Amino acid sequence: MNARDYLCTYIDSHGGIAATAARLGVAYSTLASIRNGYRGISTRMATRMAQADPFLDANRLVWVRATKKDAKRSAASVGVVNVG
C-alpha cells in the first residue's frame, strides 16, 4: 500500500472527506485537494494530522504528493486561450 492508498483508506474508514477533515482539524477543501491529487502533504501538515489522530503515521503521510496539475495553470502555461 502506497502513501496515497494509506490516506484514502483512512478517509474512507472515517466517514469520508467531510468527517475526516473535521476529525483532523483540516479544511474540507484542503483534504479534498489532497485526496483528489491536486495537493500533497507537507511535513508540517503530516505532523498536524498525526497529532490530531495518533493512529495516523506522519512518516507515511509526508510521501503523499500531488499527482495532477491544476487545469487552469496547465492550459495557461501552454498558451491555450478560451474564446467564447
Task: Decide if 47 is inside a domain.
Answer: yes
Tell me if 23 is assigned to some domain. yes
Residue 58's closest CA among 66, 67, 68, 48? Answer: 48
Structural domain includes residue 51: yes
Rounded distance between C-alpha atoms, residue 26 and residue 81, angstroms: 35
What domain count does the chain have?
1
What's the pLDDT at 82? Answer: 56
Can you give the pLDDT of all 84 residues of the chain as single tens digits?
899 999 999 999 999 999 999 999 999 999 999 999 999 999 999 999 999 999 999 999 999 999 887 655 555 555 555 555
Residue 36 in domain: yes
Tell me, yes or no, if the pTM score tops 0.75. Answer: yes
Structural domain boundaries enclosing 22: 3-65
Let me know if residue 70 belongs to a domain.
no
Is 32 a member of any domain? Answer: yes
Residue 79 lies in a domain: no
- Residue 73 in domain: no
